[in-house]
Structure formats: structure tokens, C-alpha cells
Amino acid sequence: MTKSGNGSRLKTAAGISFLLIVIIPLGIIFIPKFGTVGVIVWLSMVVALIFIIVKHHSKSTSCKCPACGVTFRLPIMVDFLSPHTPDKKKLRCPVCGKKNWCEIAG
Ligand SMILES: [Zn+2]
């Protein structure tokens, strides 16, 4: 694990914490006060924040293919939708084409 990998993970965790600590209470305030408009505004903020977190995560994360050893970066949607554990992601390697549990290199 590299130092930058840890920093990146901390930033992602901070983003998720921010989402939970700030956005949920905002929703509790916005939705009863503004009704449907409140729901739309609140959902827009949630989607925007999730997008920012995922974009940051995919930019700062690369994965290592266990079959051929190549390290590659992930497109945003692949990063968001692929099954994963805290340190591995199930991905198709862009070089050898094999689908494996790839180690997250940070
Ligand atoms: Zn590969």
C-alpha cells in the first residue's frame, strides 16, 4: 500500500462521511419545507456529490491485473458499477481481456 493510496482512500471516506453527515440532515430539512421541489433539489445534490466522489476515486485509483500484471486506470462508470471488496475489484483487463479480481493499487 502506497502513501498516496492511503490518502486517496481517506479522501473517499471523507467524501462519503460528508455525504452522510451533511446531506441526510439537509434532506430532513429541505423535503418537509419545500415538498417536491425539496426532493428534487436534495436528490440533485446527492447525485452531484456521488458523481464527484466516484470521479475522484476513479481518477486516483488504478488496478493491477493478476493474470498479466499490468496496472490500469478505470473509467468512471466501471469504477462505480463493478463489484468490489475493500481491496479488490472484479474487472476485465484491457490488455489480456481476462476477467479477474484485480488488486486496487491506489
Ligand atoms: Zn491482464
* Domain residue extents for the chain: 1-60, 61-106
Measure the CA–CA gap between 18 and 50, rounded to whole angstroms: 11
Residue 102 pLDDT: 95
Q: How far is the CA of 69 from the centre of ligand 1 (A)?
A: 6
13: which residues sit within 8 A by CB, 6+ positions away? Answer: none
How many residues comprise the chain?
106
Give residue-wise pLDDT tens across range 25-77: 888 888 888 888 888 988 998 888 888 888 888 888 899 999 999 999 988 88
Q: How far is the CA of 63 from the centre of ligand 1 (A)?
A: 10
Specify the 3-state DSSP secondary structure of 34.
helix
0.85 surpassed by pTM: no
Q: How far is the CA of 93 from the centre of ligand 1 (A)?
A: 5
Q: How far is the CA of 13 from the centre of ligand 1 (A)?
A: 28
Residue 88 pLDDT: 92
pLDDT tops 80 at residue 94: yes
Residue 2 pLDDT: 45
pLDDT range class, residue 6, cuts 50, 70, 90: low
pLDDT range class, residue 5, cuts 50, 70, 90: low
Other beta carbons within 10 angstroms of residue 48's beta carbon come to 10
**Residue among 79, 91, 81, 83 at smallest CA distance from 102:** 91
Q: How far is the CA of 30 from the centre of ligand 1 (A)?
A: 47
